Structure 1
Amino acid sequence: MTQSHFLVPLDFSEHADQTLDYAIDLAQQVQARLTLLHVIHVPAWAGRDFTLQIAELETDTERAMQAPLNRVRAAGLSAVNVVRQGVPWHQIVEVAKARQADLILMSTHGHTGLHHVLLGSVAERVVRHAPCPVLITRRHHVTSRSSAKEK
């Protein structure tokens, strides 16, 4: 039996951080290995003028990815970081295929209305094109019991 493999795209948001916690908990239950992915969105119009800035951004991103990697390893799990450039949903799907992920765990910002129409949803596109199941986590707001009773 082969070890399960989870792909966890990260955008450095608080919600993605919560999703990583969930991925760690789930991976510990099944002893899965994790690939942590960050995609640097490079617009199609970005030409050679941006090469130096993109290289610097990639270096900064690799540095920032070290903390999530350390969290996963501290939990006793095997993990690697991957930094890619391109369209986020497409890169997530490509990495899932290339690394033969069994599950993608990712957050969604839950945009609706005009914002969703104009920008689309990375999560929605990943779900449509992924080669494996996708588990989407939504931001959950924690309210204390006392404030909930007061309402």
Structure 2
Amino acid sequence: MKIIVPIDFSTNSVKALEFALGLHRGSKTSIVLCHVVEMIYDFASQTALALDNMHSDARKLLEEMVDKYSIGPIEIHSEIIEGTPSINVTRLAEELDADLIIMGTHGMGGLKKILVGSTAVNVIRETTIPVLLVPEESSTEQIKNLSFALEVADHEEKFIEKVNSYASIWGLKIQIIHIMKSRSFVKEMALNGLKSYFEKEIGYTPTIHQLESENVISGIKTFLEKNPESILAMCHTQKSIWDQLLGKRKSIEMAYQVRVPLLVMV
């Protein structure tokens, strides 16, 4: 597996690297530490000098990180690129044909509301590669389950096998979360069909949790408060510009609120 870990040398980005190492210990994995030097718009001479210094400082810090964390079968490399972080992280991940992007998030509740334009959220919006958002306080020692929130919709089928492969690599059990406003026979049948699909196509029988809630986000948060030893997985489909103006996808909304790692399937 090839993983991109954006590094800005903050505590939360280093925690994301440590989380990535913990998830993949013992497995053949390649991790690329990606540091983006943001362009400075100033006088030309000052800009050139500042960029040279930033490259030099970043190169030294990355080399120290590679030396410190290069343990076992996991290979660690580093890249320094210039430009807008979200655009360049996304571009690098696609150029290297990465399987996953793992990023740190701020604060006890994951991404804070004030960070609407943050790198992590913009990467989710721009990338075609799954993104794992890791809150600062997360530890792989606490993680036992991969909790997959599903609407039981057509667009989710393509993500099921990939989520199963992550669970297998990480040594986690899959459990399905389905939030509904009220129980119905049709929904019960759909979930039974989902269980049969897993058994037939994946060869795995997941635990299915059906929860009643007027609001999907609130329902998932309530479940996670009782089951904090989880990575939450959600499907994200890109919206048109008009949809973006009218509202957010649930996966992005969850990024602002959950205290567990969030795997966004795109």
Question: TM-score interval w.r.t. the shorter chain?
Answer: 0.7 to 0.9
Selected match of 1:31 from 5, 8, 28: 28
1:119-130 paired onto structure 2 within 5 Å: 120-130=117-127
What residue number does 2:129 align with?
132
What residue number does 2:112 align with?
111
Tell me the distance in 2 between the aligned counterparts of 1:72 and 1:34. 11
What residue number does 1:62 align with?
59
Kept in 2: contact 1:27–1:33 (CA 8 A): no
Runs of 5+ unmatched residues, structure 2: 140-266
1:14-25 paired onto structure 2 within 5 Å: 14-25=11-22
Structure 1 residue 9: Cα displacement: 0.5
Kept in 1: contact 2:103–2:132 (CA 8 A): yes
What residue number does 1:48 align with?
44
Runs of 5+ unmatched residues, structure 1: 143-151
Tell me the distance in 2 between the aligned counterparts of 1:29 and 1:94. 28
Which one has the largest radius of gyration? Answer: 2
Kept in 1: contact 2:3–2:98 (CA 8 A): yes
State the percentage of identical aligned residues. Answer: 24
What residue number does 1:72 align with?
69
What residue number does 2:99 align with?
102
Kept in 1: contact 2:26–2:72 (CA 8 A): no
What residue number does 1:149 align with?
none
1:47 to 1:82, Cα distance in 2 relative to 1, 3 A? farther
The alignment status of 1:88 with 2:85, answered yes or no, reads yes
Structure 1 residue 134: Cα displacement: 0.3
Matched letter for residue 83 of structure 1: I
| C-alpha RMSD over aligned residues | 1.9
Tell me the distance in 1 between the aligned counterparts of 2:138 and 2:95. 35
Structure 1 residue 78: Cα displacement: 1.1
1:133-148 paired onto structure 2 within 5 Å: 133-140=130-137
Q: What is the TM-score when the length of structure 1 is the normalising length?
A: 0.80
Show CA shifts across 1:2-31 (max 9, x none): xx1000111111111111111112232432
Residue 65 of structure 1 aligns to a residue whose secondary structure is: helix
1:140 to 1:130, Cα distance in 2 relative to 1, 3 A? same
What residue number does 2:3 align with?
6
Tell me the distance in 2 between the aligned counterparts of 1:27 and 1:51. 39
1:131 to 1:71, Cα distance in 2 relative to 1, 3 A? farther
